[in-house]
Structure 1
Amino acid sequence: MKSLKAKDFMTKYVFTVSPDTTVQELVGLFVTHPVSAIPVVGDDNELLGIVSEGDLLYKKVQPKIPPHVDVLGGTVYYCGFGRYEKSFRKLLATTAKDIMTTDVRCVTPETDMEAITTLMVDHHLKTVPVVQKGKLSVEREGDEPPARLVGIITRHDILGAIAATQVEEHMRNRK
């Protein structure tokens, strides 16, 4: 059986938004388009981050900060918000730039389907951007080239590729 690569089954025409797309516009886009995540791109299709349906749900869930914790009968008072920073940032977000996840797990067009599937399962991802070699803006230093978005892979794309492969094998075996 031929090993499929991302370029063989990725969606090449990706629905994207700019960093200044408002949260209200994002909600509307998720409602009207059958996607679970939308890449945020800059100039020349540079991948800046990704906004998922889950990111937008943070806007409706109030961060739960315990004022104190009872430990073995003693009270320990809460004294920082570092652990809750992500929730607060997303709660206060007004644009894609504010709410997007910048630590994006990506693959290249040459990545094997097995590696992509493992990445998606291990990290509970529904969508994985496909980028030409380069680094995301949060990782880049100096003159390094940016990661340019060239496609996207969803769980649906992988299942479709598996089904197509099974049909091909079945047809070969019938001959």
Structure 2
Amino acid sequence: RLLAQHRISGLPVVNDDNVVVGVVTEYDVISKKGQTVGEIMTHGVISITPDTDLEEVSHILVHERIKRLPVLDQGKLLGIVSRADLVKEVATRWVCLVCGEVMHSEEQPEQCPRCGASNVAAASESVSPGS
């Protein structure tokens, strides 16, 4: 019911101590027989920590063919990173071509807040400072 109500495709399952014990997805709901979440959830959760590099997050999502990753600290759920979160992060990241400062903004910044240069490009363009 939560999946449909919130229009999401999966949720982590936690125990009383907020420790992640599994994940339940749309696929689990439609393909597995069971009366409780515990009976249909996927065990062996692939997760990340708050310090996981975004490139590694992207690699895991693509290579494991999953849509979301729970963010855990000592087994406890801190949040979830989805493919959509990653796309938004990349789409709003800008880098100064002079000093390398990274900025986040919906629109391209007119100048770098660190050095004042107007040479700011989308970080996804993979350009090096000074080029």
Would the TM-score normalized by the shorter structure come out above 0.5?
A: yes
Alpha-carbon shift at residue 111 of structure 1 (Å): 0.4
| Total equivalences in the alignment | 103
CA distance in 1, matches of 2:86, 2:29: 25
Q: Answer whether contact 1:129 1:149 (CA < 8 A) is retained.
A: yes
CA distance in 2, matches of 1:130, 1:154: 10
Note the 1:129-144 alignment, pairs <5 A: 129-133=70-74
Please tell me the residue identity of whatever aligns with 1:116: V
Alpha-carbon shift at residue 57 of structure 1 (Å): 1.9
Q: Answer whether contact 1:36 1:127 (CA < 8 A) is retained.
A: no
Match of 1:157 in 2: 85
Match of 2:56 in 1: 115
Q: Answer whether contact 1:109 1:130 (CA < 8 A) is retained.
A: yes
1:174 to 93, 118, 127: 118
Match of 2:126 in 1: none
Note the 1:71-82 alignment, pairs <5 A: none
CA distance in 1, matches of 2:91, 2:54: 13
Note the 1:2-151 alignment, pairs <5 A: 28-58=1-31, 90-91=32-33, 93-133=34-74, 147-151=75-79
Cα shift readout 1:54-76 (whole Å, capped 9, x = no counterpart): 11120xxxxxxxxxxxxxxxxxx
Alpha-carbon shift at residue 174 of structure 1 (Å): 2.8
CA distance in 2, matches of 1:166, 1:119: 24
Cα shift readout 1:116-150 (whole Å, capped 9, x = no counterpart): 100000011101000013xxxxxxxxxxxxx1111
For structure 2, the 5+ residue unaligned runs are: 96-102, 120-131
Structure 1 runs (4+) greater than 6 angstroms displaced: none
Q: If each structure's helix is expressed as a fraction of its own residues, which one has the higher value?
A: 1
CA distance in 2, matches of 1:149, 1:29: 18
Q: If each structure's strand is expressed as a fraction of its own residues, which one has the higher value?
A: 2
Cα shift readout 1:70-91 (whole Å, capped 9, x = no counterpart): xxxxxxxxxxxxxxxxxxxx22
Alpha-carbon shift at residue 106 of structure 1 (Å): 0.3
Higher relative contact order, structure no. (Cα contacts within 8 Å, ≥ 6 residues apart): 1
Please tell me the residue identity of whatever aligns with 1:152: I
Please tell me the residue identity of whatever aligns with 1:164: T
TM-score of the superposition, structure 1-length normalised?
0.55
**Over aligned residues, Cα RMSD in angstroms?**
1.8
